[in-house]
Structure 1
Amino acid sequence: MNYEGKNAVEKSIMGRRSIKKFKKDPVDIDELIELLNVAKWAPNHKLTEPWRFQLYVDEGKERFIEAFLTSQERDGNIPDKAQNKAAYFRDIPLHLVVIMPEDSRKKRWDEDYAAISAMIQNFQLAAWERGIGMIWRTNDWTHDPIFKDAIGVKSDEKIVGTLMIGYPKHVPKPEERKDIRNVLTVIDE
């Protein structure tokens, strides 16, 4: 990736990667809170600050994992694939569930979702600058009422994502992105 002529913000945006393999080293919770306090400066129409968070760490991760497994149960059995994913989840230092209110007003919902998405991106970039990686997951099970209920997310709330956080064990190479000129229409008259 060519960073020539790029400023620090541009390099950070282009250099950040979604991390799937993490070291077992703990991430300092106070540092994580500090990063969320930086991320909250995202564009936010009418300063609704439409977010709340649940952080699962150490033994608390088991509640998150049990909720996941319960949501995967079929006819009293938990598929091997779900058991494997649960083992993977146990090895990740932190799980942050990002939650927003489900506002019935379309405009407010759109504004809130945009704000929380921008906040998550800010958080990812700020963490990346400190060597902390994450992946923003929006799996089907995060929409499952069984999972949501098990972790205390109300029926009038949306899980925008589960952020799996830790120090990268492996940083993937960048994947090619389309040139914006291929999807940009310039209207000059």
Structure 2
Amino acid sequence: MGVFMNEKVSTLSTLIRERRSIRDFKTDPIPLQDMVELLNDAVYAPNHGKREPWRFIAFEGKGKKKFADAVIDTYNAEQKENKAAAMEKYYQDIPLHLLVVMPEDPRQKKWEEDICAVSAMIQNFQLLAWEKGIGVCWKTNAYNLDPIFREAVGVQPGEKIVATLHIGYYEIVPKAKKRTSVEDKLVVIND
């Protein structure tokens, strides 16, 4: 299926460097149990106080229509006229959508610790999925903040959507984009 499906990953650094955000997916379904297994490993991310500040809302099968409708309901009239049909198809064709939600702790330090933990867990999930030939695209679109979308998908008051993850098998791996060398961003203080 994917790059690593029948190959053993030689090092973690190889996996990190070869993972890509995937936007074009095969329509083959991702078994929900496979996603759950990946998440059960991903949640071993560091998290302060072992708060495990995450919960998940998955949309698969017919549930993808609910997700697509919730996104489209956030569009203005012109957007609905110009792109609703294409976006409906796009969201329906993606095998699985996963919202990653965290509680919004009013204490800034706890909130920052929680968003860091959730982000680390998401990166774990992306790497674990990539290792199995499953692509992920981490989206932070405006609809994540829209009350219409949030209510439609079951996000509670006092929660933040950290990510919408689009998940599926891929055929084409995008080329890597050049990264700035760490030496260009590193300040060393040694006296």
Partner of 2:182: 180
d(CA) in 1 for partners of 2:24 and 2:171? 5
d(CA) in 2 for partners of 1:146 and 1:153? 10
* Secondary structure, counterpart of 2:77 in structure 1: coil
Partner of 1:39: 42
- Asked if 1:84 corresponds to 2:81, the answer is no
Number of aligned residue pairs: give it. 183
* Secondary structure, counterpart of 1:58 in structure 2: coil
Q: Say if 1:22 and 1:166, in contact at 8 Å, map to a contact too.
A: yes
Q: CA deviation at 1:73?
A: 3.5
* Secondary structure, counterpart of 1:184 in structure 2: coil
Alignment partner for residue 26 of structure 1, among 25, 29, 33? 29
Q: TM-score, normalised by structure 2?
A: 0.92
Identity of aligned residues (%): 48
* Secondary structure, counterpart of 1:71 in structure 2: coil
Q: Say if 2:126 and 2:136, in contact at 8 Å, map to a contact too.
A: yes
Q: TM-score, normalised by structure 1?
A: 0.93
- Asked if 1:61 corresponds to 2:64, the answer is yes
Q: Say if 1:145 and 1:155, in contact at 8 Å, map to a contact too.
A: no
* Secondary structure, counterpart of 1:120 in structure 2: helix
Alignment partner for residue 12 of structure 2, among 9, 14, 28? 9
Partner of 1:3: none
* Secondary structure, counterpart of 1:35 in structure 2: helix
The aligned amino acid for 2:126 is Q
Q: How does 1:101-116 map to 2 (within 5 A)?
A: 101-116=103-118
d(CA) in 2 for partners of 1:71 and 1:65? 10
- Asked if 1:166 corresponds to 2:168, the answer is yes
* CA offset digits 1:161-182 (Å, max 9, x no partner): 1000000132101010000111
* CA offset digits 1:11-60 (Å, max 9, x no partner): 00000000000011111111110000000000101000000000000001
Q: CA deviation at 1:7?
A: 5.3
The aligned amino acid for 1:185 is V
d(CA) in 1 for partners of 2:170 and 2:125? 16
* Secondary structure, counterpart of 2:73 in structure 1: helix
* Greater shift in the superposed pair: 178-187 or 6-15: 6-15
Q: Say if 2:68 and 2:87, in contact at 8 Å, map to a contact too.
A: no
Q: Which residues of structure 1 form unaligned runs of 5+?
A: 1-5
Coordinate RMSD, CA, aligned: 1.5
Structure 1 residues 79 and 183: CA distance shift in structure 2, 3 A: farther
d(CA) in 2 for partners of 1:31 and 1:7? 22
Q: Say if 1:69 and 1:83, in contact at 8 Å, map to a contact too.
A: no
Partner of 2:3: none
* Greater shift in the superposed pair: 130-139 or 150-159: 150-159
Structure 1 residues 179 and 41: CA distance shift in structure 2, 3 A: same
Q: Say if 2:27 and 2:94, in contact at 8 Å, map to a contact too.
A: yes
Partner of 2:5: none
